[in-house]
Chains A and B, each alone.
Chain A
Amino acid sequence: MQFGIFSVGDVTPDPTDGSTPTEHERIKAILRIALKAEEVGLDVFATGEHHNPPFVPSSPTTMLGWIAAHTERLVLSTATTLITTNDPVKIAEDFAMLQHVADGRTDVMLGRGNTGPVYPWFGKDIRQGIPLAIENYALLHQLWREDVVDWQGRFRTPLQSFTSTPRPLDGVPPFVWHGSIRSPEIAEQAAYYGDGFFANNIFWPKDHFKRLIGLYRQRYAHYGHGTAEQAIVGLGGQAFMRKNSQDAVREFRPYFDNAPVYGHGPTMEEFTAETPLTVGSPQQVIERTLSFREAFGDYQRQLFLMDHAGLPLKTVLEQLDLLGEEVVPVLRREFAARRPAGVPEAPTHEDLRARKREDEAARVGAGVGEPGENAEESA
């Protein structure tokens, strides 16, 4: 199982002293946080993509390329890359390039984006959000798998004899996660392609996400990619920890009370009872995270939101120390002990490359040309 962090990339005043980082300070802080993720033994760093203040990460692959150069093991991902307003051709190029730069340590999470004005800024219409996600991904999928593409669709100019460069590393496209907070259509899309499905699982009660993930698992099996239990699920979560849970509650409360998303609404106690937010000791975070498995089944990737609500960089780095030293080692052990045989890990580039070679060998061995027809299921 993979553990990591995802950053929204907001520039938010620290409510305890009123200070606001500059864009430059925040961008540098995000990069520092990503390096810290590798230092403390996490597996994944994912950045959001936004095109409006107070958010800074408008150009994720630029940031991820820098992080790739300064890390060795960390998988670089997004949360999310806008499949609606970005040109799928540019996504194909940017992430194939990142794959080469990072020696395969990259995947991508696609999402629609829910900020209305961003769509017209990029010449699109939010009311076409689902059709844009479906058509653009169909093209992206094709661009990464076919060297020369002839294509015609509804939302961009046609392509004749187009080759997206560079070609994916080792001929293996980056693994794709589809993130959604409320659209069964996107769960269906992820299942159809056999891609991963990520439910951000923060801010809302879990019953909502149980329906979405349940649908994805059922349809994943329907499309023959494996059993429902073998579907590739990722979850978000958020936590604030101190060794003593009362210290965590006291320190985090002003950040909670003024947080851009939920501040000035329910009390922290009400919100932590109803949503996955955990404010307390590392042990409480461990127990809460293990409860996700009870609700959603065995899953492959857990991302935590740690740098938000105006928390200073120093505090976020301390949080990552606790996450890496006290929480994740226990979670790795406990999740592994509970995981039945046959439930796969989240696929890495090496896994996908090996699977591709097996598929090719099986095809040659069977002497048939139909892709995948005799491919053995890799456990």
Chain B
Amino acid sequence: MSTAPVKLAVVSAGLSEPSSTRLLADRLAAAASRGLETAGREPQVQHVELRDLATEIAQNFVTGFAGEELKQALDDVAQAEGLIAVTPVFSASYSGLFKSFFDVMENTALTGKPVLIGATGGTPRHSLVLDHALRPLFSYLRAVVVPTAVYAATDDWGSADDGLTPSLPGRIECAGAELARLTRACGPAVAVAEPEAGAEDEEAVGEQAPHLKVVAQAPSGDPYEDVVPFAQQLAALRPEE
């Protein structure tokens, strides 16, 4: 069994200080860490607090490149073996800041990566945000979304287990264990695809589809390290006999 630490990235889009979103993110991270430790793996948790990156995220939309701290955060998420992503509910969906962070990320960065999704809100009536907004977002990005998603309404922080439905701590434990198990099963992230040329359209940045290349893929996934020889690029275009 590998003894290298398992990297978990925790993205939290809470805005207040302290924030219940961060609180949920911390508890999910702790549960996932316990799940890994139980399996004999050491967790290595990296937090990404989107509030601190708000300006750089907005600037990335304008300039097309990430500032230093944002770049570090994007790299941390891309290199993590598992991701925990938690947002407050704003206007019946994830917050704009939360979505913006994933908009400026390479659209292949989460491919095949286990993701545990969570959300917080003032009322339990928004809990389907997880399945109607977050889950499709991460499915689109080709992440492996863990079955149990955790929604924490204000009331949940003070409710005891009623014996009929799992309490918040129970849901957190369950979701954390699922992420730990999937992270161990999926292993370290490997680049598997790159966007097609069409994804370069700057004006359509919000509509990029992660079309997967089916030919001439560099073995390492890094097109600079393993350049596809020109003769091969040319030959791929020759009319078929």
Could you list which residues of chain A lie within 8 angstroms of chain B, going by C-beta atoms?
112, 114-116, 125-131, 134-135, 138, 152-154, 182-185, 187-189, 191-192, 203-205, 208, 211-212, 214-215, 219, 262-266, 270-271, 274
Contacts and interface: CB of A to CB of B under 8 A. Distances in A.
Interface of B: 58-59, 61-65, 67, 196-198, 200-204, 211, 223-224, 227-231, 233-234, 236-237, 239
Contacts of B65: 203-205, 208, 274
B238 to A, nearest CB: 8
Given A127-B197, A182-B200, A219-B227, A188 B63 contact: no
A74 to B, nearest CB: 31
30 contacts: A114-B202, A115-B203, A125-B198, A127-B197, A127-B211, A128-B197, A131-B236, A134-B233, A134-B237, A135-B234, A138-B234, A153-B237, A183-B197, A184-B224, A185-B233, A188-B228, A188-B229, A191-B230, A192-B230, A203-B63, A203-B65, A205-B65, A208-B65, A215-B224, A215-B227, A262-B62, A262-B63, A265-B61, A270-B59, A270-B67
Given A114-B200, A116-B203, A265 B62 contact: yes
Nearest to A130: B197
B194 to A, nearest CB: 10
Contacts, number: 92
B59 A266 contact: yes
A274 B202 CA distance: 20
A154 B58 CA distance: 41
Contacts of B63: 203-204, 262, 265-266, 271
Contacts of B202: 114
A183 B201 CA distance: 13
B224 A127 contact: no
Contacts of A130: 197, 233
B204 A265 contact: no
A135 B237 CA distance: 7
A129 B223 contact: no
A131 B227 CA distance: 15
A184 B203 contact: no
